[in-house]
A and B are shown apart, each in its own frame.
Chain A
Amino acid sequence: AQTVTQSQPEMSVQEAETVTLSCTYDTSESNYYLFWYKQPPSRQMILVIRQEAYKQQNATENRFSVNFQKAAKSFSLKISDSQLGDTAMYFCAFMTRNAGGTSYGKLTFGQGTILTVHP
């Protein structure tokens, strides 16, 4: 079974500054996806960024980038130029690509990090 750990229950950052959210995971799988999902106070969960485990290059999406360290099983999210609209709960999540496993199709979430961006 997979586990995902987010060690920072809450974080805060000033507008326009940079913040990094941590995530570690444990798995015996070699082929998987990692995600960061964002859930603002309005509740709708949206995908921020994804990383395929077989890709060495770190994924980026505009102000969002990841630092993927496969050997260390670490997957942190960096938010640059933080904006008030980035205030949300952020979930790190794992999904196996192994179609034969019992976890196929399941997202395993971390406990989440509440990020508050201050003006």
Chain B
Amino acid sequence: DTEVTQTPKHLVMGMTNKKSLKCEQHMGHRAMYWYKQKAKKPPELMFVYSYEKLSINESVPSRFSPECPNSSLLNLHLHALQPEDSALYLCASSQGLQTYEQYFGPGTRLTVT
């Protein structure tokens, strides 16, 4: 199974809402990533978890809160978002930070109204 799954596929939320994005992989990978991608732009790295510990935070605003409950799951908690946060949020995983291949999920299309 070489699949990274993400739920939901689409999410519309108001600026006062709290929601969560979920990412799951069952490849035994120990590194997981959150990216934000605007239309026709490259993905921008947000967070990296390695062995369930936050390894990289790319100075992301605190309204985005990542969580890695176990080695297969990665969540992104959203609170008080702004319209400019509307984007495609991609999750990825790799065997480890030292491993070159990242496997990407299909993404969650987020719209903030």
Q: Report which A residues bind B (CB closer than 8 A).
A: 33, 35, 42-47, 50, 89, 91, 95, 97, 99, 104-107, 109-112, 114
Contacts and interface: CB of A to CB of B under 8 A. Distances in A.
A44 B105 contact: yes
18 contacts: A33-B100, A44-B106, A45-B43, A45-B104, A47-B101, A47-B102, A47-B103, A89-B40, A95-B100, A99-B97, A105-B48, A105-B50, A105-B55, A105-B98, A107-B102, A110-B42, A111-B42, A112-B41
The 9 A-B residue pairs with the shortest CB-CB distance in the complex, in nearest-first order: A109-B42, A105-B97, A45-B104, A33-B100, A44-B106, A43-B107, A105-B48, A91-B42, A112-B42
A42 B90 CA distance: 13
Interface residues of B, number: 23
A49 to B, nearest CB: 11
For B42, B55, B103, B106, the residue with the greatest tally of chain A CB atoms inside 10 Å of its CB is B42
Q: Is the interface of A mostly helix, strand, loop or mixed?
A: loop
A91 B88 CA distance: 16
Interface of B: 31, 40-43, 45, 48, 50, 55-56, 88, 90, 92, 97-98, 100-107
